[in-house]
Amino acid sequence: MCNVMDGKEASMILKKRIKKKINQDGITPCLAVILVGDNEASKVYIRNKKKACEDAGIKFIFTNFPDTISEDLVIEEIKKLNNDKDVNGILVQLPLPKGFDEGRIINTIDPVKDVDGLTYPNVGNLVLENECLVPCTPLGVMELLKMYNVSLKGKNVCIVGRSNLVGKPLIQLLLQRDATVSICHSKSINIKDYTKMADILIVAVGHPNLITKDMVKDKVVVIDVGINKEGNALIGDVCFDEISKKASLITPVPGGVGPMTVACLLKNVVKAYEIQNR
C-alpha cells in the first residue's frame, strides 16, 4: 500500500510556521474578502478562510454585496481597499454572479495585494520568474511535494487540466524546479500516452474518476486537485482505491490539496505584508 499525502497535517505544519512568524515579527497582516451574491459553496470557503486567518493572527475583513449591486460599485470598494494601508491582501471570491466582468474586477486589485495571484502583472511575473504572488492552489501543490521530499529535477511531470487557476501556473512553478512538464486537456489525443510516462501526475479538471489504474505507471506520485460531489460524498478526479495500490504517494479527496490551498492563502497574505512594508 502506498503512502497517502496528508494535506491536513501538512497544512497544520505550515499554519504553525506562519503563526510563529507573525508572532516573532510582531506584525499584523490583514486580509479583505469580497463576496458578490450568496453562493453557498463560496460562503463555506470564506468561513474556512476566516477561521484560518483568525487562528494565525491575521485580521479578516468581509464584505458581502448582493448580486444586484453594480460592477462599478464593487470596483469602487476594491479601490478603497487598495488605498487602505492597513489592508495587505484583497480577495474577490470566485465565481462571480452572471453578468460581472471577472477580468475587469480582478485586475482592479493592486498586484501587491492580489493574494490570489490572478492579476495580469502577477501572471506575467510568474512566467518571467520575478517575485510575485502565486495562486494558492498551485502553491499548495508545490508545498505538499516539498514537505514529502518529492524531487522534481529532471522528472516527467504530467498536468491534466489547463485552467488559469491551477494548470497554467503549475507549469511555471514546475519548470522553476527543473521538471520536464507536459500538459493535457480536453482536446488532447490519447491522454494515457502522457499520463503513463509521468513520474508525477497532477490532475485538476473537475471530472470524477477520470484517471484509472491503467493510465499510470508503478510508483507514480499522484496529486489530485479535483473536487466533485457525488451524492453526499466528495470524490477526486482520480480513482483513489485503484491507483493507491500502484502509486508511491497520492493525495486523498478530501484532505489533500484543499487544506494546503487555505494555508497558502495565509502565506500569501504575510508575503504581501512584507512586500508592502519593506
Residues 77 and 67: their CA atoms lie apart, in Å, by 15
In a domain, 21, yes or no: no
Which pLDDT does position 230 carry in this prediction? 87
| Residue 238 counted as domain residue | yes
Residue 115 lies in a domain: no
Residues 168 and 102 in one domain: no
Residue 150 belongs to some domain of the structure: yes
Q: Is residue 270 part of a domain?
A: no
In a domain? residue 59: yes
Which residues constitute the domain of residue 189?
136-258
Give the model confidence (pLDDT) of 188-243 as tens digits. Answer: 999 999 999 999 999 999 999 999 999 999 999 999 999 998 888 999 999 999 99
Find the catalytic residue in 15, 49, 168, 271.
Answer: 49
- The question of whether 101 is a catalytic residue gets the answer no
C-alpha separations of 4 from 221, 234, 244, 245, 247 in Å: 10, 17, 8, 11, 9
Same domain, 72 and 172: no
- pLDDT for 221: 98
* pLDDT of the residue at 2: 59
- The pLDDT, as a whole number, for residue 278 is 87
Do 146 and 186 have their domain in common? yes
Q: What is the Cα 268 distance to its own chain's centre?
A: 11
Report residues of the chain scoring pLDDT below 50. 1
C-alpha–C-alpha distance, residues 4 and 261, integer Å: 18
The total of structural domains in the chain comes to 2
Active site (annotated) includes residue 114: no
Catalytic residue among 6, 116, 224, 237: 116
Q: Is 172 a catalytic residue?
A: no
Confirm whether 122 is domain-assigned.
Answer: no
Task: Check whether residue 156 and residue 106 sit in a common domain.
Answer: no
Residues 39 and 99 reside in one and the same domain: yes
For 25-59, letters b (16+ CB in 10 Å) and e give eeeebbbbbbbbbebeebeebbeebbebbeebbbe
pLDDT at 1: 45
Catalytic option among 6, 93, 267, 271 = 93
Same domain, 47 and 85: yes
